[in-house]
């Protein structure tokens, strides 16, 4: 083992023992630093580079290998922390990472369903069967409110204010918010409560206020909701990569496409920063351009 490899192993031991970092984090650090070591060996360098240009050459090679922007960002973070340690240990006097900027994050637009796709999805559950009624109620609630899956699976009947058509949601950071819920979603929840949920509870012998339950009378998990949505998307012939969060994206996009105020959508979604909500305006603008292209006679 050469001196550079020894430095890496010392740093990883320090990160694991002194800083208490997880095995996954240590594995990621090791992978990034070993890639860096391989580059140095190939370039004939036997000491840690002190010039930013050498670091940039390594990062450029990683980009040429079609590494994702997120992977490059992680490598920069790994090298930044490693060089800080080298300086503290007096192994290095110069830290070239001070001159290296992280790449700008890729702003990928979230996937959203069209109105027709939503209609097809909502029509998939077989409502002549008990779990079909539950699944229809679940899908209607997600699309009607834009709530997160973690919020959905923790909903209580005491959170539903039927007369006011409002739903109390406990979001991130234990922040409560009141959001509108449609008559359609409420009617499906009531149908589920009357025809399905109570018999499930009687069968399980449990007593709970949680709205959505599995077929044994226990609370649904995030994974179960994900599987339910995937199954119905396949049945509906929807080719997009749909997750529970897709219905949240779809909810926000459809509101904005139909003229909702951005601040209102921010409040409903529970975003603390409006910049998080603004990504949906890009989807809305795309919709406007598509409509324009289809309808203007001179395009």
173 and 51, same structural domain? no
CATH of the domain at 76: 1.10.150.130
66 and 10, same structural domain? yes
Question: Which of these three, 56, 72, 99, is where a domain ends?
Answer: 99
Q: Which of 148, 197, 249, 254 is flagged as catalytic? A: 148
Give the angle 23-102-28 at the CA atoms, nearest 5°. 15
Kind and range of the H or E run holding 167:
strand 166-170
119 and 87, same structural domain? no
Contact 136, 127 (CB under 8 A): yes
If we measure between CA atoms, which residue out of 14, 25, 22, 164 comes closest to residue 84?
14
- pLDDT tens digits, residue range 186-199? 999 999 999 988 87
Q: Is 213 exposed, middle or buried (0-12, 13-18, 19+ CB in 10 A)?
A: buried
Q: Look at residue 108 and tell me if it is in a domain.
A: no
Q: Which of 130, 168, 245, 287 is flagged as catalytic? A: 245
Q: Which of 30, 165, 168, 271 is flagged as catalytic? A: 271
Q: What is the DSSP letter of 178?
A: E
pTM for the full predicted model: 0.61
148 labelled catalytic: yes
121 and 90, same structural domain? no
Which CA distances in Å does 149 have to 20, 61, 74, 192, 290?
31, 40, 28, 18, 30
Question: Which of these three, 99, 123, 141, is where a domain ends?
Answer: 99
Q: Which of 248, 263, 294, 298 is flagged as catalytic? A: 248
74 labelled catalytic: no
Share of the chain above pLDDT 90, in %: 54
Q: Look at residue 39 and tell me if it is in a domain.
A: yes
Which residues, listed in sequence order, are joined to residue 166 by a DSSP beta bridge? 161, 180
- pLDDT tens digits, residue range 199-250? 777 677 676 889 999 988 888 988 899 999 999 999 999 988 888 888 998 9
Share of the chain above pLDDT 70, in %: 91
- pLDDT tens digits, residue range 87-116? 999 999 999 999 888 766 555 567 889 999
280 labelled catalytic: yes
161 labelled catalytic: no
215 and 251, same structural domain? yes
Domain that holds residue 23: 3-99
44-56: average pLDDT:
91
If we measure between CA atoms, which residue out of 75, 59, 71, 69 comes closest to residue 106?
69
- pLDDT tens digits, residue range 62-95? 888 888 888 888 999 999 999 999 999 999 999 9
Strand, coil or helix: 201: helix
57 and 178, same structural domain? no
248 labelled catalytic: yes
Mean pLDDT taken over the chain? 87
Q: Look at residue 105 and tell me if it is in a domain.
A: no
CATH of the domain at 186: 1.10.443.10
172 labelled catalytic: yes
Q: Which of 11, 29, 192, 280 is flagged as catalytic? A: 280
Q: Which of 42, 172, 175, 222 is flagged as catalytic? A: 172
Q: Look at residue 110 and tell me if it is in a domain.
A: no
Number of domains in the chain: 2
């Amino acid at each position: 083992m050469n001196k550079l490899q020894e430095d890496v192993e010392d740093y990883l031991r320090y990160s694991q023992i002194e800083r208490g970092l997880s095995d996954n984090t240590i594995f990621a650090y090791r992978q990034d630093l070993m890639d860096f070591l391989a580059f140095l060996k190939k370039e004939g360098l036997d000491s840690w580079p002190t010039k930013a240009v050498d670091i940039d050459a390594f990062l450029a090679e990683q980009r040429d290998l079609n590494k994702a922007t997120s992977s490059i960002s992680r490598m920069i973070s790994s090298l930044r922390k490693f060089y800080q340690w080298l300086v503290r240990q007096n192994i290095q006097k110069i830290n070239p990472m001070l001159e290296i900027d992280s790449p700008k994050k890729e702003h990928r637009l979230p996937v959203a369903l069209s109105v027709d796709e939503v209609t097809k999805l909502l029509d998939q559950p077989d409502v002549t069967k008990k779990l079909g009624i539950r699944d229809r109620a679940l899908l209607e609630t997600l699309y009607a409110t834009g709530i997160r899956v973690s919020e959905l699976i923790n909903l209580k009947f005491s959170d539903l204010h039927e007369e006011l058509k409002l739903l109390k949601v406990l979001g991130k950071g234990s922040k409560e918010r009141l959001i509108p819920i449609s008559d359609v979603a409420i009617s499906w929840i009531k149908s589920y409560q009357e025809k399905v949920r109570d018999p499930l509870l009687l069968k399980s012998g449990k007593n709970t206020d949680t709205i959505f339950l599995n077929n044994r009378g226990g609370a649904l998990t995030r994974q179960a909701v994900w599987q339910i949505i995937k199954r119905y998307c396949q049945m509906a012939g929807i080719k997009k990569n749909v997750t529970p969060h897709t219905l949240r994206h779809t909810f926000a996009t459809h509101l904005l496409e139909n003229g909702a105020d951005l601040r209102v959508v921010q409040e409903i979604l529970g975003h603390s920063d409006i910049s998080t909500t603004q990504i949906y305006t890009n989807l809305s603008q795309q919709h406007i351009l598509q409509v324009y292209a289809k309808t203007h006679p001179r395009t």
